[in-house]
Amino acid sequence: MSSASPQPVRFGVVVFPGSNCDADAHHAISTFPGATVDYLWHKDTDLKGVQAVVLPGGFSYGDYLRCGAIARFSPIMQAVKDFAADGGLVMGICNGFQTLTEAGLLPGALIRNTGLKFVCRYVNLRVENAETPFTRACDEGDVLRIVVKHNEGNYTVDPETLAAMKANGQVVLRYCDADGVPGDAANPNGAVEHIAGICNETRNVFGMMPHPENSVEAALAGGADGRRLFQSIIDTLTVAEVAS
Catalytic annotation, residues: 94, 211, 213
Q: Taking CB under 8 A as the rule, does residue 240 contact other proteins? A: no
Question: Are residues 175 and 191 in contact, defined by beta-carbon separation less than 8 angstroms?
Answer: yes
In this chain, which stretch among 14-22, 53-61, 65-73, 129-137 interacts with other proteins, using CB under 8 A? 65-73
Give the contacts of 207 (CB within 8 A, at least 6 positions apart).
Answer: 91, 92, 93, 96, 97, 98, 100, 101, 106, 197, 198, 199
Q: Taking CB under 8 A as the rule, does residue 119 contact other proteins? A: no
Residues within window 175-204 making contact with other proteins, judged by CB under 8 A: 190
Size of the site for other proteins (CB under 8 A): 19
Q: Taking CB under 8 A as the rule, does residue 60 contact other proteins? A: no
Nearer to other proteins, 50 or 148 (CB): 148
Q: Taking CB under 8 A as the rule, does residue 164 contact other proteins? A: no
Residues within window 69-98 making contact with other proteins, judged by CB under 8 A: 69, 73
Q: Which long-range contacts (CB under 8 A, 24 or more apart) does 19-22 make?
A: 19/56, 19/57, 19/58, 19/59, 19/60, 19/95, 20/56, 20/57, 20/58, 20/59, 21/56, 21/57, 21/58, 21/93, 21/94, 21/95, 21/211, 21/213, 21/214, 22/56, 22/58
CA atoms within 13 Å, Cβ hemisphere of 89: 23
In this chain, which stretch among 35-43, 110-118, 129-137, 194-202 interacts with other proteins, using CB under 8 A? 110-118
In this chain, which stretch among 40-48, 100-108, 162-170, 178-186 interacts with other proteins, using CB under 8 A? 100-108
Residues at the contact surface with other proteins, assessed by CB under 8 A: 65-66, 69, 73, 101-102, 108-109, 111-116, 154, 156-158, 190
